[in-house]
Amino acid sequence: MQSDSALQDLAFEALDSFQIEIPSWGFANTGTRFGKFLQPGAASTLEEKFCDAGQVHKLTGVTPTLALHVLWDLPNGVGDAATVRALESQYGVVAGSINPNLFQDQEFKFGSLCNPSAEIRERSVAYMLDSVDIARKLGSRDISLWLPDGSNYPGTQNIRKRIGWLEEALQQTHAKLGPEQRLLVEYKPFEPAFYHTDIADWGMAAHLAAKAGPQARVLVDTGHHYAAQNIEQIVAWLLHTGMLGGFHFNDRRYADDDLTLGSIDPYQIFRIFHEIQLSGKDALGQIAFMIDQSHNLKGKMEAMVQTVAAGQELWLKAALVDREALDPLQEKCDLVAAEELFRGAFWRDVRPMLKEWRRMRGLPVDPLATLAESGYVQRISVERGSKLAPVTSYA
């Protein structure tokens, strides 16, 4: 049994080691394939996104980087670098992962890197190389690729040809990486393609990363799995093989719902964090923690702060698993005792420890309450709300 001071030292060390990247698109108006619900305080410019991200970092102290989306945030490519640098200095957060957009243009109807048209494939590769240049100019380590390519009907595409095209495209992209850069390959079993998706699971992503080169890794989106899939086992395999590069954290009830972290199944995130922490401190620096959520109904700022706080709580719970006691119980196959020890860490109320950590680090002990009291959301809602376009209503 550890003393209270030793436990607090362990808790503080764990919290100090936890940082999570927040996405620019999490502050913007987003929606579903059926439409958007507009929020008056949503960010519509890159500066507004940086402003919101800076506010979240001031409240939580653990979100120093902002993931950027090429086209949405950087329509002029490398030409926007000077603007980003100025915003970084002004708002106290820096550019994080660079996320290419290979799904928005009409020419991507039948794919981008896997399109049967050699011309479209070439343009798609050129776009990936531009994304690498943007990342290098901004000092960003990770290029985070989610590829929506696939097909909707059997027999309409040559799946094996598309594998070869994709391997070649990622090898070309990898060859352009600087020595400190990485290519993170994300996977998703379906949507927008419904018959076959070109990178449908972690095995395909790991194969493509290995083919691309030594600076490529797999990115796990916690929403991109079939129901009841054991994500922490996937994480364990990727850790074991040295192929885990990072996460897009969110939660889901059915498919890729992009709900706030821990809102549906916090125990799952706890189990994932446990596997990560088993890998040791050296491995942690190679794993990028990122949020990928679409706040359609919750307030953008409130949802982001709530997510970061939930991530801290679950990370701390996993850190407090008594692994020295757990290991012999696992060796003896003492199932009940092992599970109770594991579950006990999950059910522990870590909020008092987290509040004390915040107090000792000069941060608001209750970031959500501080956000509400600050009037920030009300102010940006007034300032930005006047720019909202009218929404058509139907009788």
Domain ranges of the chain: 18-321+364-385
Looking at the DSSP bridge assignments, the partners of residue 289 are 247
Please choose, from the candidates 141, 163, 320, 125, the residue with its C-alpha nearest in 3D space to the C-alpha of residue 219: 141
- Pairing type for strands 35-36 and 31-32 reads antiparallel
What pTM did the predictor assign? Answer: 0.95
301 and 51 Cβ atoms separated by less than 8 Å: no
Which helix (H) or strand (E) is 307 found in, with range? Answer: helix 300-319
CATH class of 18-321+364-385: alpha beta
Tokens of 237: 């395999």
Amino acid at residue number 226? Y
pLDDT one digit per residue (tens) for the chain, 395 residues: 667 788 999 999 999 999 999 999 999 998 777 888 899 999 999 999 999 999 999 999 999 999 999 999 999 999 999 999 999 999 999 999 999 999 989 999 999 999 999 999 999 999 999 999 999 999 999 999 999 999 999 999 999 999 999 999 999 999 999 999 999 999 999 999 999 999 999 999 999 999 999 999 999 999 999 999 999 999 999 999 999 999 999 999 998 889 999 999 999 999 999 999 998 888 888 999 999 998 999 999 999 999 999 999 999 999 999 999 999 999 999 999 999 999 999 999 999 999 999 999 999 999 999 999 999 999 999 999 977 655 443 33
Task: Calculate the CA 374 to chain-centre distance.
Answer: 27
Q: Write down the pLDDT at residue 304.
A: 98
Amino acid at residue number 77? G
In the chain, the N- to C-terminal Cα span, in Å, equals: 67
Angle between helices 4-16 and 351-360 (to 10 degrees): 70
Tokens of 217: 């890794």
